[in-house]
Each structure stands twice: as C-alpha cells, then as structure tokens.
Structure 1
C-alpha cells in the first residue's frame, strides 16, 4: 500500500449530494500544500494554482478540472475525524516502514498548542500526538491522537507499547512513563527499555541515588563538546543491580547515572549572560549493554524532540497553526 492508496482508504463522511471532488484528492492537496508551506485555506487554493500542471500530470486529472475552493478545504479540515487519519497512517506504516529487531524507538507526546481551550482552569483540554520515533532512521512508525480530558498520555503509550509486542526493540521514554505497569508491558512484549528516573517515582529515585553513592560502578566514560555556544562535559556511569533490589520494576538490570557540567548562554541577545550548570540524571534499563551503547541511546532519545517536535514547531509552524474550528488544528498538522 502506497501513501495515495492509504489516503483513498479514508471513508468519505460527506453527503453524496453536492460532492464535486473525491476526498483523496482534497486530502492529498492538503498534505502536499502543508508540506511546502501553504498554510491556511486560501493558501491551499494558491497551491493548486501555482502547481496546477504538475498536479494534473501527477494524478492524471482532466485538464479542465476545477480544483477545490477555500470553503471546501475549510469544511473538510474542520469536519474530518483526525483519529481515522491516525489509524490509516499506522496501517500504512506497518507495510511501508517495517520495524527492525534491535531498533531504538523513542516514545513521547506533543501537545498541539492551537487546540488548547480552558486555559489554566479545570476544564482545560487539548489535543496531543503521541509518536513512536526511530532513533536511527528518523521516521515515525506509529502514532496515536489523544484528547487531554478523555485519555492520559500514559494509557496511550501503554497501547502503543502493546502494538510493538514481539518487535524486539528498545523503547526509550521520559520520566512520565517510568511506571511499573508500562515497563511490565514492555518486558512482557519481548522488548527492552531505557527510561528516565525522576522524583515522580520518589522511592525509585532515592534507590537510584543510593546505588550511585554506595555501589561500585561497572563502567564509566567522560566526553566533552562545544556546540551552539554551549560547552558540556558529560560523565556517564553504569551500575549493575540485582533483580532483588527492585523486584517491582520488571526487567530492571542497570542504573545509569549521567553528570553534566558546563556553561551556556542564557537570555536574549541584548542581555545574554554566560551561566554555569551542573546536573545529575538517572536512568533505569533492562539491557546489559556497554557504557558507550547506553550513552548513545540516552542521547538518541532526544532526537524525537530535536528532529520531530522542533521541526513541527519551527519548520511547519505547528504551535501557531492558523486553522480554527472543529477538528481543524489536529487535521492541519496531520
């Protein structure tokens, strides 16, 4: 199944009367236009004008075709169920983007800022996209859409982990997903994990601190770098632990401690100042890896922020999405 065939599989929710353009064509134009910077309903009309000949040739369309108007784009974007698109994407990705055994998969959610309603009240709601991202190949292999008031990111990640059962991959996740049930699902599914430890799991965090302070290290490595005006020295140390130490945490075999020190610039250009930083971070893993493998995998997890979420915000301007009404903000980012 190619991408066009996947888009054609999206059910048409419109009333048969008055349909002038097939849904797959409208969705494909929205996708191509958005990827090339044509944001908004009228810019999509400009896209069809500027690339009319190419679109006709690419999709074998009649030469006298009248492409959709801005109101057609608006109606489709506001009314289409974004969860259907997420399901269709996952079906397509299973065939087009096969998961390889041993791959590192980062899982994380990103809120679509323009969907936020309710501000700081108890009625606050927003749409998030939770993605499974390949460290090595740089693409999303699975994703799910969630609404804050209907479902938590933790439960969505658990569903994605169950979908990855039997893949024999390594899942990396932040401290939100350092949950006993989540890690048990990973191990039961034949996968492994590297997960951040923070004070949301206070007993585990204190246990990690105690291990680092009192147990001999299995191995350690120190690296330094100067990038983007920041100088950083990173010390990574791993500690082997027995299954009896953390019996409630499925598969726990190592605690990884990372100490980061250095200097970075802070503030706007007119008031920039150089500040020092000294940070300690802890990670839990089910793997029996070398120190360099752990170090690379932990750094690799943040590619989901740098190469996916940052690109959505800065390149695709997701947080300032101009689409409003209905499902428009979520569909606009699909």
Structure 2
C-alpha cells in the first residue's frame, strides 16, 4: 500500500535518477527477549527526497538478504542504484541489472581481492592505465577548504573475477581532501559500476548516496525521534517506522509553505487547514467546521 501511494503522488522517476539503498537501526526497539532491534532497509530517491519503499531485515539475517527483496518491489528502470559496501554482492548487482537499472557499488575490505585489483590497476601495475574521465570541485567556507576529485577507468579485465559482476564496465577512485586550520585529511573510496566510465556521473551518484544519511536517517532521528522510540511489542516498531516514512514524505511533498520539517510538523498539529492540505484534502473555506 505504501509503494502504491508513493507511485501515485510522485511522477515516474526520471532517467538516471539516483536511488540510494541503505539501512537504519531503530536502536531502542529491542529488549532482553528480542534478538536484535528493528533494522529497516530503505530505498531513497535522492533528487526528490522521498522514501520509495522499505523492508525490515529478519532477526537472524542482514541487509544482504533484504536488499534483493526490496529491489523486486520497486520500478527502478533507467535509474542509478547506489549501495554501500555491505550491499556490494554479485547477486545484488545482477538483481539491479535485471530491474533495468545501473549500479554504483562501494568496494571496501569486505572484498579484499577486488579492492587490491582496483588499487593495482589504478596504480598501473600490469601496464599503464589512464583515466577515461576526471572531475573535480573546490569548496571553501566555514573555516575549511575542501577538494573533491574523481578518476573513472574502464574495468576491462583488470579486476578480480570481474566477469562475475553483471555488466561491469567501469571503476572509479573518489578522493576528498579537507583542510581545517593546519590539519589536512585525505579520504579515498573506490566504486564499481555498470555504466561507462564517467567521472561526473560517478560523483553525482556518490554524493547523492551520502544524502540518505542527512535527508533521511538524520531527519528520522532528530525530527521524529526514531532512535528514542521504545515500541517493541509485536509489529508495533515496524508499523511506526513505516508511519514515520509516510509523514516525512507528506512533508517533503508539500510546497505550500517554505519552512523546516519541524515547523511543518507543528503547523500540522495546530492548523486544521494546513493539516488538510498536507494530507491532500481540499479545504472548503465556506465550511465553518
């Protein structure tokens, strides 16, 4: 019902829209009798800021089994699906391609041989390898100086068991250099993708994926108190998590007032007219009730 509602209130996702898939734990939804707190894996349309769907992981499972279940319920054809390192699995890459989407998957130490092959290829071991595409940006403000750079390469046959990754075409190095005062830090991350090497597209996908933390998980915790919710019995925690997603989507969809999520929640609680508008009802100005 949630997915049907979302499909009805937003237009079809445009081509190359980034759909970020990530999990969040509602930390206090557990007790001594429960094996683990509620963990929801959500699909987040970064451009419009809406939750498209979600699946709760089983008590004895994790995101690796939940992500394919979620993908099978979504229409992501033509989109770019981004997942962090836990979801970097060959079966998940194949599921994304079967759904008609491209993938951008983060590679970390959970795939050490694949990561090593990326590092060796990028370093030119086994023959020089030039980046097909490069991109960089520079931001200065709030006392910090930040450079973001991306190098995109053709995957070719350089990557470890590259043939096991469905339609693998490219990999990329994303580097962020930040200087605050006299302290400089450098962070590097590596990604594989099913689209042709395009550094700007890689950076757009990566930065859009980061938004799931700021525009979804942070909002759920700070504005809706998700981490402080102590509902535990039966399906209550799961149901309330779904209601929070509905409320967040309703607030994001409303453009009648330009203000914060916190203020819109307050208006919805105190103004019958605004609440009716938020819920999509037509307000009859002649009705005194």
TM-score bin, normalised by smaller chain: 0.7 to 0.9
Find the residue that maps to 1:144 and give its secondary structure: strand
Q: 1 CA distance for matches of 2:44 and 2:238?
A: 19
**CA deviation vs aligned residue, 1:46-82 (integer Å, no higher than 9, x gap):** xxxxxxxxxxxxxxxxxxxxxxxxxxxxxxxxxxxxx
User: Residue in 2 aligned with 1:53?
Assistant: none
Find the residue that maps to 2:28 and give its secondary structure: helix
User: Residue in 2 aligned with 1:34?
Assistant: none
Find the residue that maps to 1:114 and give its secondary structure: coil
For residue 331 of structure 1, report the CA deviation from its aligned partner.
3.2
User: Residue in 2 aligned with 1:330?
Assistant: 238
User: Residue in 1 aligned with 2:148?
Assistant: 234
User: Residue in 2 aligned with 1:208?
Assistant: 118
CA contact (8 A) 1:167 1:190 kept: yes
Q: Does 1:139 align with 2:50?
A: yes
Give the alignment's Cα RMSD to 1 decimal.
Answer: 2.4
User: Residue in 1 aligned with 2:100?
Assistant: 190
Give the ranges of 4+ consecutive aligned residues of structure 1 lying more than 6 Å apart after TM superposition: none
Return 5+ residue gaps in structure 2 as ranges.
244-289
For residue 289 of structure 1, report the CA deviation from its aligned partner.
5.4
User: Residue in 2 aligned with 1:11?
Assistant: none
Find the residue that maps to 1:163 and give its secondary structure: coil
User: Residue in 2 aligned with 1:303?
Assistant: 211
List aligned pairs for 1:80-119, cutoff 5 A.
88-102=1-15, 103-118=17-32
Larger Rg: 1
Match of 2:193 among 285, 305, 325: 285
List aligned pairs for 1:68-83, cutoff 5 A.
none
For residue 154 of structure 1, report the CA deviation from its aligned partner.
1.2
For residue 324 of structure 1, report the CA deviation from its aligned partner.
5.1
Q: 2 CA distance for matches of 1:300 and 1:166?
A: 16
How does the TM-score come out when normalised to structure 1?
A: 0.64
List aligned pairs for 1:1-334, cutoff 5 A.
88-102=1-15, 103-118=17-32, 124-149=35-60, 151-164=61-74, 167-214=77-124, 215-226=129-140, 228-242=142-156, 245=159, 246-264=162-180, 275-288=183-196, 290-323=198-231, 325-333=233-241, 334=243
Find the residue that maps to 1:99 and give its secondary structure: coil
Check 1:166–1:323 CA distance in 2 against 1; reply closer, same or farther (3 A cut). Answer: closer
Return 5+ residue gaps in structure 1 as ranges.
1-87, 266-273
How does the TM-score come out when normalised to structure 2?
A: 0.74
Find the residue that maps to 1:302 and give its secondary structure: helix
Find the residue that maps to 1:250 and give its secondary structure: coil
Q: 1 CA distance for matches of 2:144 and 2:75?
A: 39
For residue 207 of structure 1, report the CA deviation from its aligned partner.
1.2
For residue 141 of structure 1, report the CA deviation from its aligned partner.
1.3
